Amino acid sequence: MPRVSFDQLLDAGVHFGHLKRKWNPNMAPYIFMERNDIHVIDLYKTQAKLDEAANALRQIAKSGKKILFVATKKQAKDIVYDRVKSIGMPFVTERWPGGMLTNFATIRKAVKKMSYIDKMMKNPKTVKNIAKRERLQITRERAKLEKQLGGIADLNRLPAALFIVDINKENIAVREAKKLNIPTFAMVDTNSNPNLVDFAIPANDDASKSIALIMDVVVKAIEEGLMERKAERAEKDEKIRQDKEAKKQEQKLAEAKKAEELKASKKVDEKASSEEK
C-alpha cells in the first residue's frame, strides 16, 4: 500500500511543474501532460518513486546511519528544519559550505571550535579575563558558526545518504556526494535532471505544501526505521539478559550439585572411619 494517496499529492500541488520552455528533457518519463504551457507531473510515478525512496531511507535509519538533509531555499528551509530536528538527523538549511563532504575534516574543525567557545564561555575565570569587546566578537563568531553549522554539530563522520530539495540550487552538494559515492535522494522538478541523483522523486519543489507532504512521508519512514532499530536492540538486550540469567542459574545448580557431592563424600568417609573403629 502506498505511503501517500494520489488525492493527497494532488491537493498539495505536487503535480505542478515548470513552464514548458524551462523543462529538462531527462524528465520526460515523469511528465503526464502539458497544460497552459506548464508541465504536469505524473503523480502515479511520484507515488511509486516516493515509496521506493522512503523504504530505502527506512533501511538506512534502521542500520543506525545518518542521513543529511539539504534545503537552503526559502520555501523549504523552515519545513525541513522543523521536521528533521524531531528525528535527530543532521541538516543544512543555510548556505551549503563548499567542501563540506569532500573536505569534511576542515568542517569538523569549525564544529569543534563551537564546542571550544562554549567551554571557554562557561569558565568564569576565562570570561573575567576577556575584554568586553573581545567577548562580543567571540559571541558573534559563535552565533555565525551555529547558524552555518549548528545542524551538523553531531555529525562525526560522513553521512550515509543525502536528501536534497531542489538539485539545481544544491548542485554543489550533489556533485560532492557523487564524488564520494554517497547515495542521494531528492525532490526533482521538471527543470532538473533526475539522472544526477540515485533516488529521484518527481515533485514540485517550489510549493511549501508539496515540500511539506514529501518531507512528512520521508520523516515518517525514517522514524519507522529508528523504531525498528530500537525494538531490535531492546530484543537483543533482553536476549543477552536472559542468557546471563540462564548462565547464572546453571552456575548455581552446578555449585549446589558440587556441594551435595561433597556432603555425600563426607558421609561415606565418616561411615568408613566408624567401621574401621
Q: What is the pLDDT along the chain (277 residues), one digit of tens a residue?
A: 468 999 999 999 999 999 988 899 999 999 998 888 899 999 999 999 999 999 999 999 999 999 999 999 999 999 999 999 989 999 999 889 888 999 998 888 888 887 777 777 777 777 677 777 887 888 888 788 788 888 888 888 999 999 999 999 999 999 999 999 999 999 999 999 999 999 999 999 999 999 999 999 999 999 999 999 988 888 788 788 887 888 888 888 888 788 787 777 777 666 666 666 5
β-bridge partners, 171? none
* Whole-prediction pTM: 0.82
Task: Check residue 97 and give left, alpha or beta (phi > 0: left; psi -120 to 50: alpha).
Answer: beta
Give the pairing of strands 38-41 and 31-35: antiparallel
Three-state DSSP class for residue 11: helix
